Amino acid sequence: MKRIVLLGSTGSIGLSAADVVRNLGPDYGIIGIAANSRDGVVLEQANEFKPRWVSLFNKSASERLSGKLPSGVKLLPPGVESMVEMVTHPDTDVVVSGLVGAVGFGPLMAAIRAGKTIALANKEPMVMAGAAIMAEAAKCGAKIIPVDSEPSAVFQCLEGADGADYRQAAQNIARVFLTASGGPFFNYTGDLDKVTPEQALKHPRWKMGPKITIDSSTLMNKGFEAIEIQNMFGLPREKVHIVIHPQSIIHSAVEYADNSVLAQMSLPDMRLPIQYAITYPARRKSLVEPLNLFSISRLEFYEPDFSKFPCLALAEDSFRRGGTYPAALSAADEVAVDSFLKGRIKFTGIARLVEYVLKRHDGGKGCPSLDEAAEADVSARRIALEALTAAVV
């Protein structure tokens, strides 16, 4: 049996992962659950899956759960240390990381150093210090399998090419076409300055958590994914091409040296890439409906508008500049999105705040160490919060 630790069990990735495990049957089991504060949902999951451990990051939520768990399920103390304890346990086979933001950095590194297979949806660490993370994974014998639909599609198109490891195969490709739905505002003709959180949270294709949904509406998420796959597969920037594909049927494609293009296609459903990461290298029957090409009938592709979506340009510039600029980008965006959702800044203020932080960040050059990326994260958050307090954006 594959034994799974599920980090972020009550978010969109965690709930989908639970769906997947439920469908896969007795060969797959959840032995650890970690979440932030939704103790009611965690209690339901604990009653269903009977994991060995449960941990809630929020202290009050953890206290509410105390004494309610079924027999044999241990409530670990709130905090990152409990997640580290679960992911590094010798019985853990697969870690599904559906955490949001930099909080996933510590558990990810612990799982890597324990040589685990990691189904990674938490892209921020790969943006912050992806090259260093992949080097550490290679040294420790860990396997990182992307869960986001587009990086997963690239992984699937590369896996087994020329009989090589996916990072080796990536060196021989001509281009990657990284697709994006365009979010809710691709064809929007109104004033983006007046966009409300409710409008930005209405994604036309995907049902996701609030942070990634807002990032999809600004296209920052696609910028993050471009950085993620460049780090994950060791690709130069010029080989990655972002393509707007509103139908979200082709999740990404890889062009090989002979000009043949392999694409991964399916209906937009996160349970498919999550399941592939859990069952890898096997494929199992899934909950996703089969693709009907006749009902789709039409696939469209467009170039991204960098002036309409400045966050995408900021992400590209951060990766080009290198050093700790991507780490600062990720941290500033996390503060900016949270501020937008709380009504402190406008939708267009997300890009302005991130740009403000990046202009004041001294990111150096080259591949940052893990410690340097963590320091840049702290510094960028401080600059962003100071800017909000001073109301300069």
Please indicate, yes or no, if residue 101 is contained in any of the structural domains.
yes
pLDDT of residue 226: 95
Q: Is the pLDDT of residue 163 over 70?
A: no
The distance of Cα 136 from the centroid of its chain, to the nearest Å, equals: 19
Lowest pLDDT segment from 103-117, 153-167, 344-358: 153-167
The residue type of 20 is: V
User: CB count, 10 Å around CB of 15?
Assistant: 20
pLDDT tens digits for 363-376?
888 888 889 999 99
Please indicate, yes or no, if residue 225 is contained in any of the structural domains.
no
Please indicate, yes or no, if residue 371 is contained in any of the structural domains.
yes
- 250 DSSP β-pair partners: 265
Q: Which of 124, 146, 168 is the last residue of a domain?
A: 146
Q: Is the pLDDT of residue 291 over 90?
A: yes
Domain count, the chain: 2
Please indicate, yes or no, if residue 244 is contained in any of the structural domains.
no
The distance of Cα 137 from the centroid of its chain, to the nearest Å, equals: 17
Burial class of residue 214 in the structure, from the number of CB atoms within 10 Å of its CB (0-12 exposed, 13-18 middle, 19+ buried): buried
Please indicate, yes or no, if residue 213 is contained in any of the structural domains.
no
Please indicate, yes or no, if residue 14 is contained in any of the structural domains.
yes
Average pLDDT of the segment spanning 174-183: 95
Please report, for residues 254, 277, 298, the alpha-carbon distance to residue 282 in angstroms, rounded to integers and kept in the order given: 21, 9, 31
Lowest pLDDT segment from 40-54, 67-81, 118-132, 214-228: 118-132
Map tokens 């660490």 to a residue. Answer: 125
- Domain of residue 43: give its range: 2-146
Q: Which of 146, 174, 203 is the last residue of a domain?
A: 146
Q: Which of 94, 122, 146 is the last residue of a domain?
A: 146
Please indicate, yes or no, if residue 211 is contained in any of the structural domains.
no
Distance CA 196, CA 345 (A): 10
Distance CA 148, CA 286 (A): 17
Q: Is the pLDDT of residue 193 over 90?
A: yes
pLDDT tens digits for 18-33?
999 999 999 999 999 9
